[in-house]
Amino acid sequence: MTEILSVLYIWLKSAHIIFVIFWMAGLFMIPRFFVYHQESAEGSEEAAKWVDRESKLIKIILNPSIIVVWVLGLVLAWNIGAMAQGWFHAKLLLVLGLSAYHGWTVGYAKKLARGERQLTGKQLRLLNEVPGIASAIIVILVVAKPF
């Protein structure tokens, strides 16, 4: 099995990076969708369109991407023996945080679909920074492996 993974390593790594990009794109888009959704009149046709857009983003991009990212990430980490390295533990903690953020966005989309608007546009714009900051730190950890 290890020999097969070694041969496929570069392809698995490429797929992992591609799906990380898809996932991050979705995590950047969804809070912006929420801002526009909240700016539309409650119960309007425009609000209904935002519910549909949010649902499609979650079902077509976010949810499939997070699954592929986790599966390939764990396979790659196991293959290179990263599970025992400090940088990997830090990365894993940040990816768990992004996964929780992902779950929060899915939950907030459901609340918006029910007409519950709990956050302001400014708060959502600030939350939009979470995946950017986390992904920057993750890239540094993976490339520099500082510990």
Residue whose structure tokens are 């966005």: 105
Determine contact, residues 30/109, Cβ cutoff 8 Å.
Answer: yes
Could you list the residues known to form a binding site, using ranges.
16, 91
Helices (H) and strands (E) in the chain, counts: 6, 0
Could you list the residues known to form a binding site for heme, using ranges.
16, 91
Determine contact, residues 42/99, Cβ cutoff 8 Å.
Answer: no
Determine contact, residues 137/94, Cβ cutoff 8 Å.
Answer: yes
